Amino acid sequence: MRTRRVFAHVGLTVGALIMLYPLLWMITASLRPNTEIFTDAGLVPEHPTLGNYALGWHSTGVNFGVYIANSLIICTAVVIGNVLTCSLTAYAFARLKFVGRKTLFALMLATIMLPGHVTLIAQYSIFRNLNWIDTFWPMIVPSFLATDAFFVFLMVQFIRSIPVELDDAARIDGCGAWGIYRRIILPLLSPALVTTAIFSFIWTWNNFFSQLIYLSTRTKLTVPVALRGFLDATGSSEWGALFAMSVVTLVPVVVVFVVFQRRILAGMAHTGLK
């Protein structure tokens, strides 16, 4: 039995190493001179250098910090928008009575699985008429209109587990719907709000498609779009610099994961979020 366990551990560790090897290799490659990158499969750079980072930071003609700032602006706005409007929506569906609730709830559930492509063309044409092309609005405004139904659903489930007696007590104390939302539901909902915030951040940070179609001016680009055009912009095969900037773009996600690991994995397990 014991040797079995040792075997299992060895197998799982080797498996994890194989899985993580590409990532570790990329970090090492970012610390190597270009000439050594593809001739060394090891994980320890012979002549470690930070030169790639300095080079990559400036080589697209725009300071890489600008892309990071753009991504952070969009991510922050999306996090705020989702936390705010999804919780308002979820509270209404979970607690308030109104005509057509069942139908609207079904509609909300249906939009969870809806492939974004069926709305894409028309949305693009609407945003174009609003003169929002090449601005951050197409990424930000939808989050303030609770369009990510996944989070609404997550919060509805959570609010349903909060005892209704608390609402009743607050009502007796003179709270209206807003007071109950603000003083009872919102504080107790905080675990779901944190989960929403984390996933909003990670998904928006990694989101490529909408940023690709809506942004074009170089100074307005976000991290994923800037990274895509990196080799074209530098006009060379600066793999080292590319890997260095790739590492830079992955760091925030890894940091968020390490800090909130338990919550992320618990959130995934409960809702099947990706």
Partner 1 sequence: MSRSAADSFGTRLRQSVPGYLFLLPWLIGVLGLTVGPMVLSLYYSFTDYALFNTPAWTGLHNYTALFHDARYLHSLRVTFLYVAVSVPLEMTFALAIAVLLNRGLRGLAVYRALYYVPSLLGGSVAIALLWQQIFGSDGLLNHVLSLFGIEGHGWISEPGTALWTLIVLRVWQFGAPMVIFLAGLRQIPEDVMEAAEMDGANKWQRFWRVTLPLLSPVVFFNLVLQIIGAFQAFTPAYIISGGKGGPSDSTLFYTLYLYQQAFGNFRMGYAAAMAWVLLLIIAVFTGLNFVLGRTWVFYGDEGVRR
User: Within positions 99 to 128, which residues make up the interface with partner 1, using CB under 8 A?
Assistant: 99, 101, 104, 107-108, 111, 113-126, 128
Phi, psi at residue 122, to the nearest 5°?
A: -70, -40
**Does residue 66 interact with partner 1 by CB under 8 A?**
no
**Does residue 268 interact with partner 1 by CB under 8 A?**
yes
How many H-runs (helices) and E-runs (strands) does the chain carry?
16, 0
Print the binding letters for residues 182-211 with partner 1: x by CB under 8 A, - otherwise.
--------------------x---x-xx--
Distance, in Å, from the CA atom of 172 to the CA atom of 87, rounded to the nearest integer, reads 23
Using alpha carbons, select from 18, 22, 39, 20 the residue that is nearest to residue 243.
22
The interface region with partner 1, picked from 21-29, 53-61, 71-79, 156-164 by CB under 8 A, is 21-29
Residues 213-242 that bind partner 1 (CB under 8 A): 213, 223-225, 227-228, 230, 239, 242
The interface region with partner 1, picked from 1-9, 43-51, 69-77, 156-164 by CB under 8 A, is 1-9
Residue 40 CB, shortest distance to partner 1, in Å, is 8
Using alpha carbons, select from 180, 186, 187 the residue that is nearest to residue 166.
180
Q: Which of 177, 188, 194, 233 binds partner 1 (CB under 8 A)?
A: 177
The interface region with partner 1, picked from 53-61, 71-79, 92-100, 162-170 by CB under 8 A, is 92-100
Alpha-helical regions (H) of 141-238:
149-160, 164-172, 177-180, 186-188, 190-206, 209-214, 223-228, 230-234
Q: Which of 10, 14, 20, 69 binds partner 1 (CB under 8 A)?
A: 20
Residue 267 CB, shortest distance to partner 1, in Å, is 10
**Does residue 144 interact with partner 1 by CB under 8 A?**
yes
**Does residue 72 interact with partner 1 by CB under 8 A?**
no
Distance, in Å, from the CA atom of 226 to the CA atom of 58, rounded to the nearest integer, reads 12
Angle at 213 between CA 210 and CA 216, to 5 degrees: 120
215's enclosing H/E stretch is none
